[in-house]
Amino acid sequence: MRASVVLENGRVSYREQGQGEVIVLLHGFCCSSESWEKVIPLLSSRYRVLAPDLRGHGQSAFPGGKVCSMDEMAEDLRQLLDSLEIEKVSLFGHSMGGYVSLAFADKYAHRLRHLALIHSTGLADTEQGKESRLDSIKTIEEQGLDVFLEGFVSKFFAPGNPEAVEVLKQRALSIGKQTSPLAAAGCLRGMRERPDRNSVLSGVKLPVLLLAGDQDRIIPKERTFSVAADHIQQAEIQGCGHSSMVEAADELTGVMIDFLSAGAPEQ
């Protein structure tokens, strides 16, 4: 089911399916709740799955502003949960959605049962990464979002079978084109400014999952696995790029269910 609510910064659209404990799936940059379309039906037989469109993405409004920070999007999530009267969730963030999840955990860890980063990292951008954000903003502002997306989406998937990759790429492009260009540029600035939050991952008293694809060309697995502790579990999907939710949905869902079944420590 798709629904929407009006929060302080405009309308937030989300997909919801299933019953039981709440799992929140946060998509990545220039993606949307549709990016989880293969995973939602697999999880919703056991859980109540909530997948919002982040501001300016998919069908959610963009309130404007030059910078779209990870903290603002975490605040949108807090307001969405409050409006649905949901107190505690297990939070899975893909890539930029992982950065938003970390911002949420930094402030609202008491509202989490589990925290998972999917093809994401607790590290801040490197200096080179910050430079390349500026190039991406320039491309979007001078040549348009579609030109930027062509290059961006081509790095999403492990090379594998070219025909299969082309199908995934076309779907990712059609989802990406729903993003507001202003939001895309704002999110690039927001990601560029985000702090290192590996201390959040090591400090939370929750089960944490870090999942990487061995062929991820956007966030290499070394950056995903850049923090270790007893409560942090690592998982690697072989032959997978930056988007296991579409490249390896069954395998990803299996890892998620095992992780969720492991139970949270007493707090």
What is the distance between the alpha carbons of residues 92 and 116, in angstroms, rounded to a whole number? 5
Contact in structure between 62 and 182 (CB atoms under 8 Å): yes
When the beta carbons of 29 and 148 are compared against ligand MLT, the nearer one is: 29
Question: Which of 180, 189, 177, 191 lies closest to 138, judged by CA?
Answer: 189
Residues 70-99 that bind ligand MLT (CB under 6 A): 95-96
Task: In angstroms, give the least distance from the CB of 85 to ligand MLT.
Answer: 29
Task: In angstroms, give the least distance from the CB of 50 to ligand MLT.
Answer: 19
Sheet strands side by side (includes 232-237): 2-7, 10-17, 48-52, 22-26, 89-94, 112-118, 208-213, 232-237
Contact in structure between 11 and 60 (CB atoms under 8 Å): yes
CB atoms within 10 A of CB 258: 12
When the beta carbons of 21 and 196 are compared against ligand MLT, the nearer one is: 196
Contact code string over 16-55 relative to ligand MLT, x by CB under 6 A: ------------xx--------------------------
Task: In angstroms, give the least distance from the CB of 62 to ligand MLT.
Answer: 16
What is the distance between the alpha carbons of residues 92 and 78, in angstroms, rounded to a whole number? 14
Nearest 5°: the CA angle 246, 79, 107 is 85
Contact in structure between 39 and 253 (CB atoms under 8 Å): yes
Task: In angstroms, give the least distance from the CB of 140 to ligand MLT.
Answer: 13
What is the distance between the alpha carbons of residues 262 and 231, in angstroms, rounded to a whole number? 11
Token pair 């079944």 in the structure block, residue: 261
Task: In angstroms, give the least distance from the CB of 220 to ligand MLT.
Answer: 11
Does position 211 interact with ligand MLT (CB under 6 A)? The reply is: no
When the beta carbons of 47 and 122 are compared against ligand MLT, the nearer one is: 122
How many residues bind ligand MLT (CB under 6 A)? The answer is: 6
Residues 144-203 that bind ligand MLT (CB under 6 A): 191
Half-sphere exposure of 240 (CA within 13 A, CB side): 22
Paired strand residues for 22: 48
When the beta carbons of 24 and 96 are compared against ligand MLT, the nearer one is: 96
Among 84, 109, 218, 264, binds ligand MLT (CB under 6 A): 218
When the beta carbons of 96 and 249 are compared against ligand MLT, the nearer one is: 96
Task: In angstroms, give the least distance from the CB of 239 to ligand MLT.
Answer: 19
Task: In angstroms, give the least distance from the CB of 160 to ligand MLT.
Answer: 19
When the beta carbons of 47 and 121 are compared against ligand MLT, the nearer one is: 121
Which residues make up the interface to ligand MLT (CB under 6 A)? 28-29, 95-96, 191, 218
